[in-house]
Structure 1
Amino acid sequence: MALFGFLRRKPAVRDAAALADFIDTQAAFLVQKGIFEYARARAGHYAKVLFHESDFQAAVEVSRWRAWPLGVAMVVEMVEGELRPHAAGELPVLQAALTATALAVFDRYPVPAALDAGTWAAARDDTAHVVERCAMHPVKRVIDVPEPYTKPYFALMPIHPKLRGQDFDTTRNYLRVALCNIHDELAERIDADAVVASLVRGTG
């Protein structure tokens, strides 16, 4: 019954296609929730008024589309760390396939109206190097993954810099906790061996 739909478990992640959907939805959730919660907290009692202002809505559109690639990068790095122990000697192939998956997720969307083509192309190029950067160091703790992304993410908040106060640490803590929660969901839903096999064999 639809009434009890919230009790149903989310579908397992068993192949590259399901992994791509997970990356897409979780990246969007990660960055957009942070943007809206931060703006609401800073606006306080004026939040309802602010959220109906056309200038603010336009600023949010820019923020969320510029932040989404950062969300993709964080989720992909977390996923790479989850899958790496299951690569069984095929790590380079796995990493190349994961890069292709990340780019396929990126290419689901045309250039957003809120951004110019050059900005979007630069974000795509950075996405292409996420897994390459992962390969240069041991798997990070999930709580440490957001560290290099926090400063550029915080800079995208649709609130004037003079009004942000000492909120950088709050934003860092949000990303850490949120990404850990996303990892917990991934760990619960993923069949890592099946996903690695799907990526390595190029099957979705």
Structure 2
Amino acid sequence: MKLFEKLFRPRPPIRDREALADFIDAQSAFIVQKGIYEYSRARAGHYAKVLFAEEGFAQSVEYARWRAFPLGLAMVGEMVEGVLASQAGARRREFLDQLTLVVLSVFDRYPVPPSIGEAAWLEARRDLAHRLDLVGGHAPKRVMDIPEPLAESYFAMMPIHEKLRGRDFETTRNYLRVSLCNIHDELIARMDRAALERALIAGAVA
């Protein structure tokens, strides 16, 4: 009974900065890691268990997931901005600036991954901040179009030799599009828009 209740318990509403940060963190990690693991298993086929048991491949997966995490933050962050922008009007830039702080706070939750190194990790943070800043320079995109500029970079991070990837880019891009649409639907279902907007604006005033 307890397991049943856990599985079907409503997820908490997103009504403040901390809850939004937790949502962005979890969903960004999910979208990039799930793609890496599932793609690697699909390419390895019957040898997946053997491959994942190899230390060298495990290190490659670790490297790939940390490199891809900032891309997940960029995609989920832009999706959240699009939801907020739909009713933000003239305050869109204000919301974007506060959302950027929330997204960067998620990035800063994690120490420098040893597999990445400090210089590359700090560069990834700067690139993430720049990508989010550019979001305010154009109209909000359709959710399914948000992964487009990052899909090739993400696919190139797969821990599978490029000669073995075949023509799988389209599949990976479609995975990102569908996954981000599902994340969008969850945000809409859980978001208390009025409370979240107040929390973001309060941060700007502070």
Superposition TM-score tier, normalisation by shorter sequence:
over 0.9
**How big is the shift at 1:178?**
0.5
SS at 1:105 equivalent: helix
Aligned-residue offset at 1:202: 1.1
Distance 1:201 1:88, change over 3 A: farther
Which residue of structure 1 lines up, in the alignment, with residue 101 of structure 2? 100
Which ranges of structure 1 fall in alignment gaps of 5 or more residues? Answer: none
SS in 2 for 1:90: helix
Who is 1:74 aligned against? 75
Amino-acid identity (%): 57
Structure 2 distance, partners of 1:95, 1:180, is 20
The alignment's C-alpha RMSD in Å is 1.4
Q: Which residue of 2 aligns with 1:116?
A: 117
Structure 2 residue aligned with 1:196: 197
Deviations 1:25-78 (A, max 9, x none): 000000000000000000000001001000000000000000000000000000
**Higher deviation after alignment, 183-192 or 23-32:** 183-192
* Alignment match, 1:2: 2
Compute the displacement of 1:191 (Å).
1.2
Name the aligned partner's letter for residue 162 of structure 2: P
1:144 maps to what in 2? 145
Using structure 1 for the length normalisation, give the TM-score.
0.97
Which residue identity lines up with residue 121 of structure 2 in the other structure? W
> 1:92: how far off?
2.1
Paired residues of 1:87 and 1:94 also in contact (CA < 8 A): yes
Aligned residues: 204
Aligned positions of 1:37-186 closer than 5 A: 37-186=38-187
CA distance in 1, matches of 2:34, 2:117: 24
Amino acid at match of 1:10: R
C-alpha displacement at 1:195, in angstroms? 1.0
C-alpha deviation, 1:131, in angstroms: 2.5
C-alpha displacement of 1:126 = 1.2
Question: How far apart are residue 136 of structure 1 and its match?
Answer: 1.1
Distance in 2 (alpha carbons) for counterparts of 1:192 and 1:135: 20
- The 3-state SS of whatever aligns with 1:202 is helix
CA deviation after TM superposition for structure 1 residue 87, in Å: 2.1
Question: Which residue of structure 2 lines up, in the alignment, with residue 24 of structure 1?
Answer: 25
Following the alignment from structure 2 to structure 1, what is the Cα–Cα distance between the partners of residues 88 and 111? Answer: 32
Q: Distance in 2 between matches of 1:125 and 1:64?
A: 18
Deviant stretches of 4+, over 4 Å: none
Q: Partner amino acid for 1:81?
A: G
